[in-house]
Amino acid sequence: MNKHLARLATALVLLLPLTPASAKFDGIERWADGLVEPALASGRLGGVSIGLVEDGEVTFIKAYGWEDQAREIPLDPYKSVFRMCSMSKSFMATTMMQLIEGGEIDSLDDPVNRYLRRIQLPPPHGDEVTLRQLMTHTSGMAGHGTPQGTTRDLPTPVSREEIASYFVENIERPPGAISQYANLGVSLEGILIEDITGQALAERLDTHIFQPLGMNDSELNHSTTTPPRLVVPYGRFPNGELQAVRFFPKHPLGAASGGVLSTTADMLKYLAFHADEEALEHEDVLSGPGRATMHRAHFRNNDADWGIGLHFFPNNFGGIRVAQHGCGLPGTRGIMAVMPDINAGVVINVLSASPMPPVGDLLDLALKEGRYAPDPSLPEQELWSVGDVWDDFTETFLGEPVRPDIPEDYLGADIVSDPEKIAGTYWLERRAMSTPITLFFAGMTRAVEVGEDGKLLLDNKSYSRLAPGIYASDETGTRVFFREPWEGSPVFLSSEVPMNYRKVSGLGNPQIVAGMLIIGMLLSFVGLVALKRPAGVLQRGLPRTLAIGMPLLILALPVAALAGAELATDLIFMTLEGERGRMDTVLWLLRLHILAGAVLAVLMLNAWRQGRGSASAGGRALEYALFTAAALTWPAVFLFNLYSSW
């Protein structure tokens, strides 16, 4: 009954005129119209919703485009529900701070294991991880090889066994060394909240945040049923046909890092609460000092960057403090920001997607036929990011970014200033570093060159040296830092957000590994050619079976990965969205190939030794060498990948 009354009150509020925007944001509607409407008309995006709150009053709220374009349902900032994806993390931090203020947690620097009941982080580093480190992504986890979704409706809180199957990674680095964005750590926060409170996480957020703040159209969602009024992003094929972006339900543990659903209007209530660090109105939810604690930096990858707060990223535009968090899921991008200095908050959600090729259309994709035949009357689709809107907003209303000053004699303890040590290939650390899933991240590298003029080329873009180990983009001013964050560590390339790249070389370079895998696959087909030669070891028994079996196993990989899949991109979502059975099938095929290759290598070496004195020894030696190379490439690469952090 109370919820129905709240909805009625909300409906009445909609009839009232908005409070005029302050002088600071004067002309915000003209700005939004001029930025969004041309992009919408050109087909670059499906919809945008923007809201601004100042001094607790909504001063601008407007939606453009479609909640569901195919069904011609327009976006409504009061009713259309967006996936808040990674902005959900701030709700975890808010809840953790509530537990501290309520005396259920003693300190941010308490060890996580003190409060966990269903799981314990294992040694050697697990018992060192603190709550502050979880909320600043400095726990040492990689955290990107764990399924974020599920095809099952799981009871919550989830069982100890379900948690054990979900946490497949250990602490990979010394805690507190670097801040590396990790969804897995946020899942652990959700588990900890449930263990302390005895409530399911969705229930806890509803009773202690959503209801007290009047967020009546918000929830933490992990149901396999598509929620009502959930926005539907669309990709557009080159011929103009629309394709809805599939809804992948969140796993209850993954929901902690990205499962909040909300409207623009509801999020403005949340931002109004966070933006006023001195308000007494919602002290029962969280005190002003508690909110301020969340917004300030608690860790910096470098003293010259903005740092990271408790699931808020603090920065500064035009001298105004801004604490923000962005998010992204297929087809949906968003950002929320609070500005405590001026008691304001803004939320922006953008719908923009590329079409995902159906498996049956892969040939058409290659030939540019069917849905992939371009319609010359349509503009070429250009994905529009929430960053495009946010950058324009800050430039128009706040001013240039104000970054921390760098002393002339600056040289941090872990800074790397030697250009020879800086140059090289860097690989993204946000991955499952010691599992076969690592190979899905093989292309996430950055190339660094240092010229004689001292300038740095990062992915062929120019950066100027500001101080030892610190460079700034000549185009955007964004800073990058080169560090050795703990004794004996490799060089890390850090950016202003907690995203790190580790320097790699030799077999550690994923591009070399990917090349070895491709060569291994091609060499696996040599046996089919050699089978036609008269006599020889490949004409008999087990060697013949293995020579035929290895290429068949290679051909079985795409079949196992895509059979029964509607979209080619299911190959990705089987890991990121919880389709583990398909991944397990692929991995078992790879293991069989490794076993077949190892046995064949032994047979080839033995056959070569027995036939060294024959007239055809040279040709046989070449055949056997190719087979041995093919057989050993797979075991070497996969075992190295599986048991090494590179």
Instruction: Dump pLDDT digits (tens) for 59-90.
Output: 999 999 999 999 999 999 999 999 999 999 99
Tokens coding 350: 């953008």
Alpha-carbon distance of 50 to 64, in angstroms, equals 9
Alpha-carbon distance of 194 to 202, in angstroms, equals 10
Q: Which tens digits make up the pLDDT trace of 143-198?
A: 666 666 777 888 999 999 989 888 866 787 899 999 999 888 999 999 999 999 99
Higher pLDDT, 132 or 504: 132
Higher pLDDT, 257 or 603: 257
Task: With CA atoms as reference, report the closest residue to 80 among 251, 218, 263, 222.
Answer: 263
Higher pLDDT, 135 or 363: 135
Q: Which tens digits make up the pLDDT trace of 452-496?
A: 888 999 999 999 999 889 999 999 899 999 999 998 899 999 988
pLDDT of residue 612: 54
Task: With CA atoms as reference, report the closest residue to 193 among 211, 205, 207.
Answer: 205
Whether the CA torsion 446, 447, 450, 451 is positive or negative: it is: negative
CB 222 within 8 A of CB 295: no
State the DSSP code for 567.
B
State the DSSP code for 415.
B
Give, in degrees to the nearest 5, the angle at Cα 345 between 339 and 351. 125
Q: Which tens digits make up the pLDDT trace of 618-641?
A: 566 666 666 666 666 655 655 555
Phi–psi pair at 424, nearest 5 degrees: 150, -165
DSSP secondary structure of 433-466: TTSGGGGGGTT-EEEEEE-TTS-EEETTEEEEEE
State the DSSP code for 454.
S
Burial of 198 (0-12, 13-18, 19+ CB in 10 A): exposed
| Burial track 47-85 (b if 16+ CB lie within 10 A, e otherwise) | bbbbbbbbebebbbbbbbbbbbbeeeeebbbbbbbbbbb
Alpha-carbon distance of 635 to 112, in angstroms, equals 38
pLDDT of residue 298: 97
pLDDT category, 439, cuts 50, 70, 90? low
Higher pLDDT, 581 or 330: 330
pLDDT of residue 92: 98
**Length of the chain measured in residues:** 646
CB 290 within 8 A of CB 97: yes
Identify the weakest region by mean pLDDT among 66-80, 142-156, 282-296, 519-533.
519-533
pLDDT of residue 646: 38
Tokens coding 509: 């370079």
206 pLDDT higher than 50: yes
337 pLDDT higher than 90: yes
pLDDT of residue 141: 85
CB 256 within 8 A of CB 85: no
Instruction: Report, as an integer, the average pLDDT of 54-61.
Output: 97
Instruction: Report, as an integer, the average pLDDT of 94-120.
Output: 97
Instruction: Report, as an integer, the average pLDDT of 403-430.
Output: 84
Phi–psi pair at 578, nearest 5 degrees: 90, 5
pLDDT of residue 508: 65
Identify the weakest region by mean pLDDT among 115-129, 369-383, 583-597.
583-597
pLDDT category, 445, cuts 50, 70, 90? confident
Identify the weakest region by mean pLDDT among 159-163, 365-369, 379-383, 419-423.
379-383
Alpha-carbon distance of 221 to 200, in angstroms, equals 12
Task: Choose the most confident range, by mean pLDDT, from 37-51, 67-81, 163-177, 399-413.
Answer: 67-81
Alpha-carbon distance of 635 to 512, in angstroms, equals 15
Q: Which tens digits make up the pLDDT trace of 320-335?
A: 999 999 999 889 999 9
Alpha-carbon distance of 491 to 495, in angstroms, equals 13
Tell me how far the alpha carbon of residue 529 is from its chain's centroid.
44
CA distances from 136 to 147, 238, 294, 298, 310 (A): 21, 42, 10, 7, 6
High-pLDDT (> 90) share of the chain, %: 48
CA distances from 56 to 205, 213, 217 (A): 21, 12, 19
For residue 166, give the H/E element and its range: helix 160-166
One-letter amino acid for residue 515 of the chain:
G
CB 259 within 8 A of CB 344: no
Alpha-carbon distance of 182 to 431, in angstroms, equals 9
Average pLDDT, whole number, for the chain? 84
One-letter amino acid for residue 119 of the chain:
I
Instruction: Report, as an integer, the average pLDDT of 515-521.
Output: 71
pLDDT of residue 547: 75
Tell me how far the alpha carbon of residue 59 is from its chain's centroid.
32
Higher pLDDT, 341 or 438: 341
> DSSP 3-state assignment of 150?
coil
Instruction: Report, as an integer, the average pLDDT of 606-610.
Output: 72
Task: Choose the most confident range, by mean pLDDT, from 130-144, 312-326, 481-495, 576-590.
Answer: 312-326
pLDDT of residue 583: 66
Tell me how far the alpha carbon of residue 547 is from its chain's centroid.
40
Task: Choose the most confident range, by mean pLDDT, from 261-265, 409-413, 584-588.
Answer: 261-265
- Asked whether the bond before 124 is cis by omega within 30 degrees of 0, the reply is yes
Instruction: Report, as an integer, the average pLDDT of 229-239.
Output: 93
Give, in degrees to the nearest 5, the angle at Cα 253 between 252 and 256. 95
Task: With CA atoms as reference, report the closest residue to 570 among 335, 410, 277, 359.
Answer: 359
Higher pLDDT, 581 or 135: 135
Alpha-carbon distance of 388 to 402, in angstroms, equals 19
Phi–psi pair at 379, nearest 5 degrees: -70, 150
